[in-house]
C-alpha cells in the first residue's frame, strides 16, 4: 500500500536549555555495551523487539520488517535518494547490528527505509508504552544531507493518524530532535507540517558510539496524556494532550503504531538547517546508521476505553453489529441485527492494529473506499488502513484512512441493514458500545 510521507520538520533550530530531568529507565540508563535487547523493567512487558542477529550481509527478518522502496521524492519531504531493498543499503553486519547505508554522489543516491508490517506497539488505556533503540548515528566525514531517523507512524491518514519521531538528526551534526505530528495539514493544533518538537539539541558522541533513544507514551493520567523523549535515560522534551486537544490526541496516539528506521539524503530539514541545498559535491558516500536493538514495552492498562475481551457491539436503538448469516466469506456484509448472543456478534477489539475481529476475520471497508456510503464488510485481516477503527470518547469508531466513522445507514432500526462509513457527525447512529 502507499505509505504516508514523513513530513518536513521545523527549519529553525531551537536548542533546549540544559537541566532536563534525569530519570533512570531500568534497562536504558546509558549507552549499551552489548547489542542484546534489554529485559523489560519491573512491571513492564515486551511487546516487540529485534536484536538484529544474523549472518553478515543478510537482509532483515521479514517477519519483523518490510522495505519501503522507491524515490525519496515520493515521501513528500524533499529528500532525493532512492530507497532500495538491496543488502548494499540495508543488511545485518553479523555482529548483532543493523546497518542502513547511503551510497552515491551528486543527486544520485541510494539508501534504505524499513517498517514493521503492522502496528506493533501502543499504550493500553490507562497504561504506558516505551519504545527504545540503541543507535550509532552516521559518521560520514562530510555529512551535509544525511538525515537518519527512528520513528513511529499510525495507520491510515497522515497526520490525523499520528507520528512520533523518536530520533532525527541532519547533516551529521551529532544532535537529536524529538517531534510529534497530529491533527490536520497544514497548520492545526500540531503546527503541520512542522509538528511539535524539541528542535535539534546536542547529542555528544552520538556519531562515534551507541546511545539509547527512547519515547514513553503515558496514558495513566487520562485527563492529560503525554509523550516524553529521552536520550540515554535523560528526559529532554515532553508534549501533552492538553497542548493539542483530547480529540486530536486520541485520533493520533490512542492506538498502535508501526516502527520505522530510515536514512534519507537531502530534503527540507537538512537544507533548512544548513541554509544550502544538500547533499553537496563534498558529501561523503557510505555513511551508515547502525542499530544494535529496538524494543517496545508496555505496562498493564488501568483504563476502560477500549476494554479487553469479546462480546456484542451495540449501536443505534440497541441493535447489534452482526456478521450476516455468520458467514466467513470475504466480502460478507456487516449489518445491524437484533442482539442474539451468537458467534456472529462476538467482537474482539485488538489493540495491536486497532482492529475489530469476529469469527477470525476483520471489520473492513469494502475496497479500501473513502467515500460516504462505502459499505463495511468482513475480510481477512491484512494490516491495511481499511481495517483500522479507533474508539473515540463520544462512542464513534473512527477510520483514519477515510477520515470517516462507522455509521448505521440512515439511522436504520431494520435488522439486516448493512453498515457503512460516513462523515463523523457525533450523531446517535454513529455511537457504538464496545464489549
Read off the pLDDT of residues 89-101 as tens digits, 9 standing for 90 and up.
999 999 999 999 9
Q: Is residue 332 part of a domain?
A: yes
Look at residue 137 in the predicted model and tell me its pLDDT: 98
Q: Is residue 148 part of a domain?
A: yes
Backbone angles phi, psi at 318, to 5 degrees: 80, 5
- Cα 81 to Cα 65: distance, rounded to the nearest angstrom: 20
Look at residue 2 in the predicted model and tell me its pLDDT: 30
In this prediction, the residues of the chain whose per-residue pLDDT falls under 50 are 1-33, 303-309
- Cα 248 to Cα 400: distance, rounded to the nearest angstrom: 12
Residues 150 and 279 in one domain: yes
The residue among 258, 277, 299 that closes a domain is 299
Residues 115 and 257 in one domain: yes
Copy the grid coordinates of residue 101. Answer: 547505508
153's CB contacts (< 8 A; 6+ apart) are 3, 4, 6, 115, 161, 162, 163, 257, 258, 260
Residues 291 and 391 in one domain: no
pLDDT tens digits along 376-401: 999 988 778 898 898 888 999 999 88
Q: Is residue 24 part of a domain?
A: no
Look at residue 304 in the predicted model and tell me its pLDDT: 39
Q: Is residue 134 part of a domain?
A: yes
The residue among 275, 299, 323 that closes a domain is 299
CATH number at residue 335: 2.80.10.50
CATH number at residue 162: 2.60.120.200
Look at residue 301 in the predicted model and tell me its pLDDT: 66
- Cα 62 to Cα 180: distance, rounded to the nearest angstrom: 28
Q: Is residue 140 part of a domain?
A: yes
Look at residue 302 in the predicted model and tell me its pLDDT: 54
Residues 275 and 329 in one domain: no
Q: What pTM value is reported for the model?
A: 0.73
The residue among 279, 299, 319 that closes a domain is 299
Residues 335 and 291 in one domain: no
Residues 219/221/225/229 CA torsion (nearest 10 deg)? -80
Residues 398 and 282 in one domain: no
Residues 266 and 378 in one domain: no
Look at residue 421 in the predicted model and tell me its pLDDT: 98
Look at residue 151 in the predicted model and tell me its pLDDT: 98
Q: Is residue 20 part of a domain?
A: no
Copy the grid coordinates of residue 291. Answer: 542499530
Residues 288 and 314 in one domain: no
β-pair type (226-231, 211-218): antiparallel
43: phi > 0 → left, psi -120 to 50 → alpha, else beta; which?
left
Copy the grid coordinates of residue 4. Answer: 504516508
- Cα 34 to Cα 412: distance, rounded to the nearest angstrom: 60
Residues 290 and 378 in one domain: no
Domain with 111, as residue range(s), is 44-299
Q: Is residue 170 part of a domain?
A: yes
Q: Are 91 and 52 in contact (CB under 8 A)?
A: no
Amino acid at each position: 500500500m502507499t505509505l504516508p510521507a514523513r513530513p518536513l520538520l521545523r527549519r529553525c533550530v531551537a536548542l533546549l536549555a540544559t537541566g532536563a530531568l534525569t530519570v533512570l529507565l531500568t534497562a536504558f540508563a546509558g549507552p549499551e555495551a552489548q547489542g542484546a535487547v534489554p529485559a523489560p523493567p519491573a512491571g513492564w512487558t515486551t511487546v516487540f523487539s529485534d536484536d538484529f542477529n544474523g549472518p553478515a550481509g543478510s537482509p532483515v527478518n521479514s517477519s519483523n520488517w518490510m522495505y519501503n522502496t522507491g524515490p525519496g521524492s515520493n515521501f513528500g519531504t524533499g529528500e532525493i535518494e532512492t530507497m532500495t531493498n538491496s543488502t548494499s543499503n540495508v543488511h545485518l553486519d553479523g555482529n548483532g547490528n543493523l546497518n542502513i547505508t547511503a551510497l552515491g554522489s551528486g543527486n544520485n543516491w541510494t539508501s534504505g527505509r524499513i517498517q514493521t508490517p503492522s502496528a506493533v506497539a501502543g499504550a493500553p488505556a490507562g497504561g504506558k508504552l516505551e519504545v527504545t533503540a540503541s543507535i550509532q548515528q552516521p559518521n560520514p566525514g562530510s555529512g551535509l544531507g544525511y538525515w537518519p531517523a527512528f520513528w513511529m507512524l499510525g495507520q491510515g491518514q497522515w497526520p490525523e493518524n499520528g507520528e512520533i519521531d523518536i530520533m532525527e538528526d541532519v547533516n551529521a551534526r551529532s544532535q537529536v530532535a524529538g517531534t510529534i505530528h497530529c491533527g490536520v495539514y497544514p497548520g492545526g493544533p500540531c503546527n503541520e507540517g512542522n509538528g511539535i518538537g524539541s528542535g535539534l539539541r546536542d547529542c555528544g558522541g552520538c556519531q562515534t558510539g551507541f546511545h539509547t533513544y527512547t519515547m514513553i507514551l503515558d496514558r495513566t493520567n487520562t485527563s492529560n496524556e503525554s509523550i516524553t523523549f529521552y536520550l540515554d535515560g535523560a528526559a529532554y522534551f515532553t508534549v501533552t494532550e492538553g497542548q493539542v486537544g483530547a480529540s486530536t490526541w486520541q485520533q493520533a496516539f490512542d492506538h498502535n503504531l508501526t516502527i520505522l528506521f530510515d536514512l534519507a539524503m537531502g530534503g527540507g530539514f537538512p537544507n533548512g538547517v544548513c541554509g544550502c541545498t544538500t547533499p553537496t559535491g563534498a558529501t561523503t558516500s557510505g555513511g551508515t546508521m547502525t542499530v544494535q536493538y529496538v524494543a517496545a514495552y508496555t505496562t498493564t492498562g488501568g483504563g476502560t476505553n477500549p476494554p479487553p475481551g469479546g462480546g456484542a457491539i451495540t449501536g443505534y436503538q440497541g441493535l447489534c453489529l452482526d456478521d450476516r448469516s455468520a458467514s466467513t466469506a470475504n466480502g460478507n456484509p456487516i449489518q445491524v441485527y437484533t442482539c442474539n448472543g451468537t458467534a456472529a456478534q462476538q467482537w474482539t477489539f485488538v489493540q495491536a492494529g486497532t482492529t475489530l475481529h469476529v469469527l477470525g476475520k476483520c471489520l473492513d471497508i469494502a475496497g479500501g473506499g473513502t467515500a460516504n456510503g462505502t459499505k463495511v464488510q468482513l475480510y481477512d485481516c491484512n494490516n491495511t488502513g481499511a481495517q483500522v477503527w479507533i474508539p473515540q470518547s463520544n462512542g464513534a469508531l473512527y477510520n483514519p484512512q477515510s477520515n470517516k466513522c462507522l455509521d448505521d445507514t440512515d439511522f436504520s432500526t431494520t435488522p439486516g441493514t448493512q453498515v457503512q462509513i460516513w462523515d463523523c457527525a457525533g450523531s446517535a447512529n454513529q455511537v457504538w458500545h464496545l464489549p
